Structure 1
Amino acid sequence: MRTFPAVIVAVLTARLSPAVAQSSSSCGPAPSGSIQPSLASGYRMQVVATGLSKPRGILLDKAGNLLVVEQGRGVVSAHTLEENNGCVSVGTSTDVTPALSLNHGIEISQDGTTLFASSSESVYSWSYDQSARTVSNNATLVGNMAGSDHTTRTLLLSNKAPGLLVVTRGSTSNIDFDAASLASGHSQIKAFNISNLTSTPYDFDSDGLRLGWGLRNDVGIAEHPNSGGLYSVENSADQITRMGVDVHEDNPAEELNFLGYLNGTQYASQGGNFGYPWCFSAWGIDDLPENDNLTVGSQFAIDASPESNNENRTDAYCAQQVPARLVFQAHMAPLDIKFNNSGTEAWVTFHGSWDRTDPVGYKMSVVAFNANGEPVDGPQSKTAARDIFANQDNSRCPNDCFRPVGMAIDSQGRIFVSSDASGEIYLVSRASGSPTSSGTPSSASSSAPGSTAAGSHVKPAALSVIAGLFCAMALMQ
C-alpha cells in the first residue's frame, strides 16, 4: 500500500511535469525519453511495456497474453501480463513466430487456436498454443501482394460471417496509377474464405471477394458488432496540387470508409470504386481552386500528369465515386479502428503527420456511432473525432512523441495502444470514480471505455494534477 508521502510526491511531480503524473509514475515505467502524453478528463494511463522493436498490430489471446507484431524484428512476440492494484506490467516475454518479415497485420481465431499474421507479400497462419505461447503447422493463405511504399496488410476475421478473412492492401506509391486497374490488386480490400483452403495459397490480385477499390491506403478495418458493417480508415495522399496550386497543407482529408457487409445484407456500393488515384476528399475548402461545388468530404480531382493518362478525370467524375462516410484532418494518418461492445463508439489511432508545417495527429480519438451502426456526425463534420489520448505538444513531433498504431481492448474495456516510434505499449482506461463504459464488456476484445461528454478535448495541464491524485488514491485502496 502506498504511503501518504508517496502521494504527495506524485502530486508535486504532477505540478512540475503533468505527463509524469498522467503516465502513472507510481504505476509502471515513465514514457520513453522526453515524451509527454496527455489525457482527456476522466481517463488514466500507464506504460505497460518498453523496449519493443517497432510494435505495430497487437491483440490479446484468450488466455490474456498480449501478442505484438514487432515490425523491427519481423516477428510476433507474446507477453504475459501481471496486475497489482490496477497496475498492469509484463511478466515474461517470448517470440512466438519465426522471423518472416511480419510487419503489421495480426488476428486470432474465435477459439484461440489459430494465429494469423502478415508480411508485405503473404498472409500466414499457425496452430497456436496459448499456454505455451508457441506455434506449429505454418501455412501461407494469401500471396502475391509484394510491393513498395505501403506494405501493411491488415487482417480482420469476420464475426458475422465466420471463415472469412479480410485483407487490406495499399498503393505502391503516393499516386499509384496502376491502382486505376482492377487487375493490379493495388489499393483494394478483399475477403477470403479460409474455411475452404487448398494447398495453393489465394492470389490476392485474382482471388477473393472485393469489398472496395480505389482505396489509397486503408490500414485500419473493423466490423460493427451489431450491424456487421465494415469500416476502414484511410491514409490519403501527400504533396498534391490542384490546377497548379499546392493545396497539400490541409488537403486531402483522411477518411472513414464504409465497405458494406459480409453477412448477406445488401449494399449497392459494395465492391465499388472510392476514386483513387484520381479523386480525393476535401478538408480545407478555401485552399482549393474552383471550389464552388465542393464541401467538406466531397471528392475533387487532382492535377493530371503526363504519365497518368487520367482521361480527363474531373470533379464531376469524382462525384460519382463512392464517398467517404466521415473525414478527418489531412495527414493525421489513421492506422487502426476498434468498436466498443455496444457499437456506440469507434476508437481510432492517428499515427501523425510528416507532410505538414504544423504537425497533426499523434493521438487516439473516439467517434460516436448510433444504434444502427452509423456515425452520429454527418459527412461534412469536422468534429466527429474527439481526442482522448494525445501528445501534449505536437511541435515536438515526430521525434519526441509517441505515435499510436494498434489497439487491443480487454474484458474491462481498457485499451492497450502500441507506439512504434517509442517501442512502447500504453494502457488507457477510465479514471477511478468515472462513469462506466457505454458498452458492457463480454469478451477480451469487446468493449472500450466510454467517450467523454460532447465537446470535451484533451485536458489542460492543470487537470493533470487531479489525474495524478486519482491514480495515487486508487493505488492506496
Structure 2
Amino acid sequence: FSAVLAQDCWNTLKATYTSPIAAGGWTYGLIANGFTRPRSILFDDQGALLVVDANSGVKHLKLTDDGGTCLSVAEKRTIIDSPELNHGIALSPDGKTLYASTADKVYSWPYDSSAATVGDRNRTLIANMSNTDHTTRTLLLSNKSPGTLLVSRGSASNIDEGAISQSAGHAQLRAFDIGSLDENSVPFNFPTQGTILGWGLRNSVGVAEEPVTGGIWTVENSADQLRRNNVDIHTDNPAEELNFHGRLSDSTNDQGGNYGYPNCFAVWSTEGFPNRGNMTTGDQFTLNPSSTLNDTTCNSAYVPPRLSFQAHTAPLDIKFTPDGSEAFVTFHGSWNRDEAIGYKLSSIRFSNGEPTEPADSRTPITDVLSNADTSSCPDNCFRPVGLAWDSQQRLFMTSDSTGEIYVL
C-alpha cells in the first residue's frame, strides 16, 4: 500500500476510527455520515445518489462536487419511508421507475428524478421470499436483456436443508421478466416462477452483469462453524466464492446450475484439512463423506466456483468497470474467527469476460481500500457494502456499521 489517504479537501469528513489506507494511485474521501445502515446505492439521471438505509428507507442525496474526491452532501431527504426495505435497489433505464426490496417482496414506485419524489402508491412485482437468517434480496436490472430483473435470495439458516429442494426457492438466483407486467398483473411467485440462474447458493449478496459479454456473476458468502469428519475446519474454510451463471441471452450454457450448498463447499486452505486427498483451493468437499455423497460427487455433480476468496471475508457487492477489465468487490469482514479478516474493498482483473486468475488461485484479488488495523474490527473500522459508479467513473462505497459513504 502507498501512504495515500484522503484527498485534502476543505469539506472532508473525518472518521472516528483510524483512517483507511488506499492502494497506490487511489485517493478517497469520506463524503457522508449519519445513516442508520446504508447498504446498496445507485445514481439517478440527475446525478443524485440514492441510498437504501436499512431499517429506515430510501434516501436521496444531492451532492456538491468540488472535483476529485472532494464532495459533500448539499441536501439529504427521505423519499421512501419504509423500515422494511433492507438492501436491494434498482432504477429503470429511463429513470422513471424505482425498485426496492424487503425480505419478502420486490416493489416498484414511479420516480421523478427532477423533483426527487416517488409516487404515492407502489406495486408489488415479486412475492413470497420471506425466510429467516439471510434476508437481503439483491436486485439487478439487466442492461443486456431490458426488462429482466435478477433477484438473489439467501438461505434460511447456516446449513439450510430446505435449499436441497429447488421448489423451496431458498438459496437461489432468479430472473424475472418484469417488462411483461402491467397494472393488473399478479405478482410473480419467487419459488415457482422466473428463470433459475443458479441454486445451491447459500447467500450470494453481490450480483453483477459483465458489461461486454453480458455474463452474470455473483459473490457468495459461504457457511460458518464447519466441521469435517468431526474436525473443526471453520477458521480457514470454506472459501467464499465468485460464481458464473451464464448469459441471459443463452439459456443453454452455464445457466441454472446447482452450486453445491448445503451439500458441498469450496476449499480455501488445505493446511490441516482432514482427508484432503489431492484437493486444492476451489475444489468442493462434503462434511461427512459417504458412499452416496462424497468429495467426488461434489466435484462432478455441482458447479465449482470460478474463483475462491479467503473464508469469512464476506463479499457483499460486485461492480464492473465499463470496459469489463476489472470487477470491484466489497468484503464486509469476518465475525467468527480469532483474527479478523476482510473489511476492505478489492478488485479482480478480467479479460474477455473471464477472471485472469486461475480457479485455484490463492491471490485472486488486489486490495484497493483497507482498514489500517483489522484487529480493531468490527467495532472500530469501516465495513463496506454497496458500490456505485457516477458519471465521472468515481466509485462510491457504503459502510453500514459506521453509517458512512466513501468515494474513490
Q: Confirm or deny a common fold (TM above 0.5).
A: yes
In structure 2, the partner of 1:234 is 220
Greater CA drift, 139-148 or 91-100: 91-100
> Which one is further off, 50-59 or 90-99?
90-99
Q: Work out the percentage of aligned pairs sharing the same amino acid.
A: 49
Distance across 2 between alignment mates of 1:192 and 1:210: 9
* Residue aligning to 2:196: 210
> Which residue of 222, 226, 245 maps to 1:259?
245
Query: SS of 2:366's equivalent?
Result: strand
From 409, 416, 424, give the equivalent of 2:404: 424
CA RMSD of aligned residues (A): 1.7
Residue in 1 that maps onto 2:335: 354
Aligned 8 A contact 2:4 2:21 in 1? no
Which residue identity does 1:117 align to in structure 2? A
Alignment of 1:99 with 2:85, yes or no, is no
Hey, what does 2:231 align to over in structure 1? 245
Counterpart amino acid of 1:342?
D
Q: Distance in 1 between matches of 2:193 and 2:104?
A: 15
2:124 corresponds to 1:140:
yes
Per-residue displacement from partner, 1:410-434 (whole Å, max 9, x unpaired)? 1221100000000000001xxxxxx
CA distance in 2, matches of 1:112, 1:220: 22
Contact 1:365 1:389 in 2 (8 A): yes
- Which of 375, 400, 405 in structure 2 is aligned with 1:395? 375
Number of the residue aligned with 2:278: 293
Q: Is the 8 A contact 2:3 2:21 kept in 1?
A: no
RCO greater where, 1 or 2, for CA within 8 Å and sep 6 or more? 1
Partner-residue secondary structure (3-state), 2:296? helix
Q: Distance in 2 between matches of 1:325 and 1:126?
A: 36
In the alignment, the residues of structure 1 paired with residue 4 and residue 230 of structure 2 have an alpha-carbon distance, to the nearest angstrom, of: 49
Amino acid at match of 2:151: V
Deviations 1:49-92 (A, max 9, x none): 0101100000011110000000031x011000111243111111
Larger radius of gyration: 1
Is the Cα–Cα contact under 8 Å of residues 346 and 367 in structure 1 kept in the other structure? yes
Please show how residues 42-81 of structure 1 align to structure 2 within 5 Å: 42-73=25-56, 75-81=57-63
CA pair 373-20 structure 1, distance change in 2 beyond 3 A: closer
Distance 1:21 1:229, change over 3 A: closer
Shift of residue 396 of structure 1? Answer: 0.5
Paired residue secondary structure (2:357) = coil
Report the secondary structure of 1:249's partner residue: coil
Residues 148 and 173 of structure 1 are in contact (CA less than 8 Å); yes or no, is this contact kept in structure 2? Answer: yes
Question: Can you list the C-alpha shifts for 1:426-459, whole angstroms capped at 9, x where unaligned?
Answer: 001xxxxxxxxxxxxxxxxxxxxxxxxxxxxxxx
The one-letter code sitting in structure 1 at the alignment partner of 2:255 is: Q
TM-score by length of 1: 0.82
2:266 aligns with 281
* Residue identity in the other structure for 1:141: L
For each residue in 1:124-172, what CA deviation from the matched residue of structure 2 results, as whole angstroms up to 9, or x when unmatched?
0011000111111410100000111100100000111111000000001
Structure with greater helix share of residues: 1
Runs of at least 5 residues in structure 1 that lack an aligned partner in the other structure: 1-17, 305-309, 429-477
Quote the residue 1:313 is aligned against: 293
Q: Distance in 1 between matches of 2:79 and 2:364?
A: 38
Q: Distance in 2 between matches of 1:425 and 1:27?
A: 17
Counterpart AA for 1:246: D
The aligned counterpart of 1:324 is 305
DSSP-derived class of the 2:257 partner:
coil
Residue identity in the other structure for 1:425: I
Q: Is the 8 A contact 2:312 2:341 kept in 1?
A: yes
Asked if residue 89 in structure 1 is aligned to residue 72 in structure 2, the reply is yes
1:32, 1:50 within 8 Å by CA — same for their partners in 2? no
Q: Distance in 2 between matches of 1:127 and 1:251?
A: 45
Aligned residue pairs total: 403
For the residue of structure 2 that corresponds to 1:44, the secondary structure is: coil
The answer to whether the 8 Å contact 2:171/2:201 transfers is: yes
CA contact (8 A) 1:363 1:390 kept: yes
- The answer (yes or no) to whether the contact 1:20–1:30 under 8 Å persists in 2 is no
- Relative distance call for 1:88 and 1:361 in structure 2 (3 A) is same
Change (3 A) 1:106 1:319: same
In 2 relative to 1, CA 179–201 (structure 1 residues): closer, same or farther, beyond 3 Å? same
Structure 2 residue aligned with 1:407: 387
Q: Is the 8 A contact 1:23 1:31 kept in 2?
A: no
| More strand per residue | 2
TM norm structure 2: 0.96
- 1:333 aligns with 314
Matched residue type, 2:81: P
**Partner AA of 2:201 in structure 1:** L
Q: Is the 8 A contact 1:224 1:339 kept in 2?
A: yes
2-structure distance, mates of 1:23, 1:30: 10
Q: 1:412 to 1:302 in 2, by over 3 A?
A: same
CA positional deviation for 1:205? 0.5
Equivalence for 1:379: 359
SS at match of 1:319: helix
| Deviation string, structure 1 residues 297-341 (Cα, Å, up to 9, x no partner) | 00000138xxxxx98421111112100000000000000000001
* Contact persistence 2:150–2:174 (CA under 8 A): yes
Q: Which residue of 2 is the match for residue 443 of structure 1?
A: none
Give the CA deviation at 1:271. 0.4
Task: Report what 2:154 is aligned to.
Answer: 170
1:29 is displaced (CA, Å) by: 3.5
How far apart are 1:100 and its partner, in Å? Answer: 4.9
Cα distance, 1:355 vs structure 2: 1.2
